[in-house]
Amino acid sequence: MKPIERVVIIMAMKQEAQPLIEEYSFHKLPKIFDVELPMEAYHIDKEGIDITIILNGRDRDFQLDSVATQPATLAAFLAVQHFKPDLIINAGTAGGFAQRGSEIGDVYVSNRYIRYHDRRIPLPGFDKYGMGNYPCINASKLANVLDMKLANVSTGNSLDITPTDLAIINIETPVVKEMEAAAIAWIAHLYHIPFMAVKSITDLIDNDQAVEEEFIENLAIASNNLKKKMFSIIDYLVGKSIEEL
Ligand code: SAH
């Protein structure tokens, strides 16, 4: 029951991270990663806990945030190599389902395991490999105390959704859909590092509005709510062990 000493928070988009970086006065760590890589690191010391945000950074060719699973995997590997965290948190935005009680700006904590919905490999054994089902910690006490909902997190490399993806996502309820958590959970699992995802809802998958419109419209409010909840989570972590979450 050792208190948590080092936490890495991995985030895909600058807009998602900016409110948190500003409010807590995280400072940028210069020259941490190879110059070829887009990832950036920001740091604070919070009452004895060393907290680092790794931002996936801007894609050099497209000048956009490096979203989706490829950069997320690399950011998680860098997190392990450079910071040896006791806990990895993937904070970001996600799509939710209105019919299962999601509202724009709700912030969810991951529950049970993180699954891929778009790695379909219908061969014996590979079907399960494709889905991943990587573990996350049981953070139900934290969710309860901080008034956050729990959901399975489902990851894929597309913002839109196909009927097949939807059928796979529908295996779980409640569930939120995003583009990074399973990649990070895989690295955390390989290195036996406790992992959790915290996801703020930008869009509702089961309404009539186009996801890209809704995402842009709600990104600011979702990121602000994410900041507030991450603020309470960071406070809550002080002096606690993983088992106490
Ligand atoms: N057009 C956007 C693209 C961002 S991609 C832009 O450039 O501003 C969407 C990001 O938000 C990903 O990091 C993903 O994890 C998350 N996300 C939010 N809602 C999602 C949804 N419905 N499906 C998949 N990912 C979603």
pLDDT digits (tens, 9 = 90+) for 103-154: 999 999 999 999 999 999 999 999 999 999 999 999 999 999 999 999 999 9
CA distance 217 to 53: 25
Is the C-beta atom of 211 inside 6 A of ligand 1?
Answer: yes
Is the C-beta atom of 180 inside 6 A of ligand 1?
Answer: yes
**Which 3 state secondary structure label does DSSP give 58?**
strand
Domain range list for the chain: 6-238
Is 50 tagged catalytic? no
Identity of residue 74: L
Candidate from 16, 55, 58, 67 with most ligand 1 atoms within 8 A of CB, to mutate: 67
Closest CA to 75 of 181, 166, 162: 181
Ligand 1 centroid to residue 13 C-alpha, Å: 9
> For 39-90, how does the pLDDT look when each residue is reduced to its tens digit (9 = 90+)?
999 999 999 999 999 999 999 999 999 999 999 999 999 999 999 999 999 9
Tell me the percentage of the chain whose pLDDT exceeds 90.
96
Is 61 tagged catalytic? no
- End-to-end Cα separation, the chain, in angstroms: 11
> For 4-42, how does the pLDDT look when each residue is reduced to its tens digit (9 = 90+)?
999 999 999 999 999 999 999 999 999 899 999 999 999
User: At which residue do the structure tokens 């992992």 appear?
Assistant: 195
Q: Where does the pLDDT of residue 1 fall: very low under 50, low under 70, confident under 90, or very high at 90 and above?
A: confident
> For 206-219, how does the pLDDT look when each residue is reduced to its tens digit (9 = 90+)?
988 899 999 999 99
Q: Which residues have C-beta within 8 Å of that of residue 220, sequence separation ≥ 6?
A: 15
Q: Which residue has the CA at smallest separation from atom 25 of ligand 1? A: 178
CA distance 215 to 128: 30
Ligand 1 centroid to residue 201 C-alpha, Å: 10
Ligand 1 centroid to residue 244 C-alpha, Å: 31
Residue ranges of alpha helices (H) inside the chain are: 14-23, 69-83, 126-131, 140-145, 163-169, 181-190, 211-237
Provide the angle, in degrees to the nearest 10, between the axes of the packed helices 69-83 and 181-190.
40
CA distance 243 to 100: 29
Query: Quick one: the chain helix, strand, coil %, rounded to 5?
Result: 35, 30, 35
**Which 3 state secondary structure label does DSSP give 203?**
strand
pLDDT at 58: 97
Candidate from 118, 159, 223 with most ligand 1 atoms within 8 A of CB, to mutate: 159
- CATH code, 6-238: 3.40.50.1580
Candidate from 90, 178, 198 with most ligand 1 atoms within 8 A of CB, to mutate: 178
Ligand 1 centroid to residue 43 C-alpha, Å: 25
Copy the structure tokens of residue 214.
């809704």
Indicate the burial class of 184 (C-beta count within 10 angstroms; 0-12, 13-18, 19 or more): buried
Report pTM. Answer: 0.97
The active-site residue, picked from 40, 118, 203, 214, is 203
Handedness of CA 142, 194, 83, 198 (dihedral sign): negative
